[in-house]
Amino acid sequence: MKENSIILLSCGSFEKKFLGRIVLSAEAEFRLPVTTEECRMDIDPYYNPGRRQYDGNRLLHDLPLCTAGEYRKLLGLFTVDLFIPILTYIFGQAMLNHQAAIVSVYRLRNELYGMKQDEDLLISRTVKEVIHELGHTFGLIHCHVPTCVMRSSTYVEDIDQKSSNLCARCRSLFEELQK
Amino acid sequence: MAEKISILIVDDEESVRDSLLNWFIEDGYHVECAENAKKALHLLEDREFDIILADIKMPGMDGMEMHRRIKALNRDSIVIIMTAFASVDTAVQALKDGAFDYVTKPFDPDDLSHLIRNAAAQISLRTENEALKSRVITLEDIDDLIGKSEAIKNVLKQVESVAQSNSSVIITGESGTGKELVARAIHSNSSRKYFPLISVHCGALTESLLESELFGHEKGAFTGATFNRKGRFEMADGGTIFLDEIATISPKMQIELLRVLETKSFVRVGGNREISSDFRVICATNRDLKSMVQSGTFREDLYYRLNVVNITVPPLRERTDDIPLLVNHFIRKYCTSMSRDMITIEPAALKQLEQFEFPGNVRELENMIERAIVIGNGKEIKLKDLPMGKEAISNSVESLEELEKRHIELILKKYEWNISRTARALNIDRVTLYNKIRKYNLKQKE
């Protein structure tokens, strides 16, 4: 059973309630058990002083080293600002049809944009990003349906526009890919 | 659509290639990478890519040079230049060389998405355009060139085949057959359609006016020339010039025209600067130019220069099959323009039209229908609404004398040759009417 589960690695300080909401949503969406683990990874070596951000590509590459557990998919949840060399920032990163994905809550917080802190909104955005990146690991590409969680989002406002669910087409594609 | 678009990433940094590869794969594009320009060009020898994202600074051949070589290969790929160093000069140069856009690394994710979406939209438009072009069977903007007869189908076929070329065309045909419509159809279906179609009615202008019209003039060239003025040849740059009634131009203008057609350059009246213009020439005439050449009234060299393709528009009497279609077309046209309910035509009236000779051709038929709609009952065009053989004044009449003769004859007939009533109706005295009857040799028919 375990090898057919998703591990959510918390790489930073997250409240249990916060992680619990993500677990429930991911389980509901992918119909797979989701467990949480605390990650004790030292992320300092991934820091790029020139950009004052953390290298998402390298974190994604090394993430599987942080757990001894068996899993089908692994998602690292971070609190720090992530980048990849070509982009100024990323909300998350995954490799299509690979096992691992990462998401950071750093740029999902309302406060970063000078707005009032909103914990529910942060949870909602994080859930959507986690499902989105996990979707890529299951082989789903970006979707043009405005409300589909697999729609590409480059701003938080984009994330707010979509739902936390796969659209019918992505759902059936997901089911197809599971066979 | 995304899955149909292929992207080639050319960058010497592996992390950049991998990041972009991953990003675009998630978007559903087909992506390949090359670590230098040489490998990219090698890949391009075997296959085409819709979008090429190329780093400007690479060891060996740089992105700009690679872009030039891609263009030299005559590939339609959209090239987007990437650089880590924002430099206006290189950006401008890249765009001048035909790059689609220019981006500075690292990109904002939203900018990258927009950039690729715009490029994809352009590719989609181009593909659609090509598909449409290959499917064009029906001609665009053929206006009133309506008909199913072999004669008109033949004209349309000629229009279609000649439109894409740059050859000069002479359109011949009787007055009112639609020669200008044929010229418009040729222009509208040519690659020059986005540039103007300039019409010049040579017959309506004196020699000096025509010269000024065609070549333009400089300020002070003649009395009243208070401003510089562009000529019609200049205005037709990139497009088509339509010279109607070409047979009427003077021998001097024939020489001038020949020179312009040969050099595609001219000097404005009163000017000394040579002006070049890229235009296509289409002429029309209702006269037999060949016999004019034989009689020495039209230059042979100009005739052959203009007469690369000849399209003869048939008179309406040779395409009577088209009359019902034309009648319906004009009914629709005028009812719409007059904001009236659509009307029909009674069978007897249509039959009469089909049997009429129409010396004024389609233009005469059009005028008849317009008139019938104006004076009719608003429901159906009846025989009595049509002026055929009664008071029709044909548009083929060109001289004022002929017009006067026909009109007097018509009014005489209307008043059964009662001279007093006819003179009163014509608002002339009886003596004048007698003089006119004598002059035109008008006789009462039994």
- Whole-number mean pLDDT of chain B? 84
The DSSP bridge pattern shows strands A34-38 and A6-11 to be parallel
- Predicted pLDDT at B409: 87
Q: Best mutation site among B19, B80, B111 for testing chain A: the one with the most A CBs within 10 Å?
A: B19
Q: Cα distance from B10 to chain A (closest Cα, Å)?
A: 13
Q: Tell me which of B404 and A138 has the higher pLDDT.
A: A138
- Predicted pLDDT at A27: 95
Average pLDDT over residues B41-60: 86
Q: Do B22 and A95 touch (CB under 8 A)?
A: yes
Average pLDDT over residues A104-124: 92
Burial level of B162, CB count in 10 A (0-12/13-18/19+)? buried
Average pLDDT over residues A6-29: 95
What CATH number does the domain containing A157 carry? 3.40.390.10
- Predicted pLDDT at B132: 64
Give one word for B389, left, alpha or beta, with left for phi > 0 and alpha for psi -120 to 50: left
3-state secondary structure of B199: strand
Q: Do B113 and A83 touch (CB under 8 A)?
A: no
Rounded alpha-carbon distances, angstroms, from residue A143 to B22, B27, B237: 16, 8, 47
Q: Least CB-CB distance to B107: which of A88, A95, A136?
A: A88
Q: Best mutation site among B25, B26, B110 for testing chain A: the one with the most A CBs within 10 Å?
A: B26
Q: Are B322 and B149 spatial neighbours (Cβ–Cβ below 8 Å)?
A: yes
Q: Are B256 and B207 spatial neighbours (Cβ–Cβ below 8 Å)?
A: no
Q: Cα distance from A16 to chain B (closest Cα, Å)?
A: 31
Taking a contact as any Cβ pair under 8 Å apart, which residues of chain A between 28 and 57 contact chain B? 51, 57
Q: What one-letter code names the amino acid at B47?
A: R
Please determine, for the modelled complex, whether the ipTM score is greater than 0.85.
no
Contacts of A90 in chain B (CB under 8 A): 109
Residue range of the domain that includes A30:
2-178
- Predicted pLDDT at A3: 67
- Predicted pLDDT at B7: 92
Average pLDDT over residues B135-141: 50
Q: Provide the number of structural domains found in chain A.
A: 1
pLDDT tier for residue B446 given thresholds of 50, 70 and 90: low
pLDDT over 60 at B389, yes or no = no
Q: What angle do CA B273, B276, B282 make, to 5 degrees?
A: 130
Contacts of B113 in chain A (CB under 8 A): 152, 154
Contacts of A149 in chain B (CB under 8 A): none
Quick one: closest CA in A to B15, which residue?
A85
Contacts of B23 in chain A (CB under 8 A): 84, 86-87
Residue B101, strand partner residues: B80
pLDDT over 60 at B140, yes or no = no
Q: Do B15 and A57 touch (CB under 8 A)?
A: yes
DSSP state of B139: P
Quick one: closest CA in A to B29, which residue?
A141
pLDDT in tens, B250-291: 999 999 999 999 998 898 888 888 888 889 999 999 998 999
Q: Which domains does chain B have, with CATH numbers?
A: 2-134 (3.40.50.2300), 150-312 (3.40.50.300), 316-385 (1.10.8.60), 400-439 (1.10.10)
Q: Are B244 and B203 spatial neighbours (Cβ–Cβ below 8 Å)?
A: yes
Q: Are B225 and B217 spatial neighbours (Cβ–Cβ below 8 Å)?
A: yes
d(CA B387, CA B406): 14
pLDDT tier for residue B443 given thresholds of 50, 70 and 90: confident
Q: Do B19 and A141 touch (CB under 8 A)?
A: no
Q: Do A87 and B109 touch (CB under 8 A)?
A: yes
Contacts of A85 in chain B (CB under 8 A): 13, 15-16, 19, 105-106
Q: Are B299 and B261 spatial neighbours (Cβ–Cβ below 8 Å)?
A: no
Contacts of B25 in chain A (CB under 8 A): 96, 141
pLDDT tier for residue B133 given thresholds of 50, 70 and 90: low
| A and B: number of Cβ contacts within 8 A | 60
Taking a contact as any Cβ pair under 8 Å apart, which residues of chain B between 198 and 237 contact chain A? none
Share of chain B above pLDDT 90, in %: 21
Q: What is the 3-state secondary structure (H, E, C) of chain A?
A: CHHHCEEEEEECCCCHHHHHHHHHHHHHHHCCCEEEEECCCCCHHHEECCCCEEEHHHHHHHHHHHCCCCCCEEEEEECCCEEECCEEEECEEECCCCCEEEEECHHHCHHHHCCCCCHHHHHHHHHHHHHHHHHHHCCCCCCCCCCCCCCCCCCHHHHHHCCCCCCHHHHHHHHHHHC
Q: Do A141 and B27 touch (CB under 8 A)?
A: yes
Contacts of A88 in chain B (CB under 8 A): 106-109
Q: Cα distance from A4 to chain B (closest Cα, Å)?
A: 23
- Predicted pLDDT at B376: 81
Q: Do B16 and A86 touch (CB under 8 A)?
A: yes
Q: Do B108 and A87 touch (CB under 8 A)?
A: yes
Quick one: closest CA in B to A143, which residue?
B27
pLDDT tier for residue A1 given thresholds of 50, 70 and 90: very low
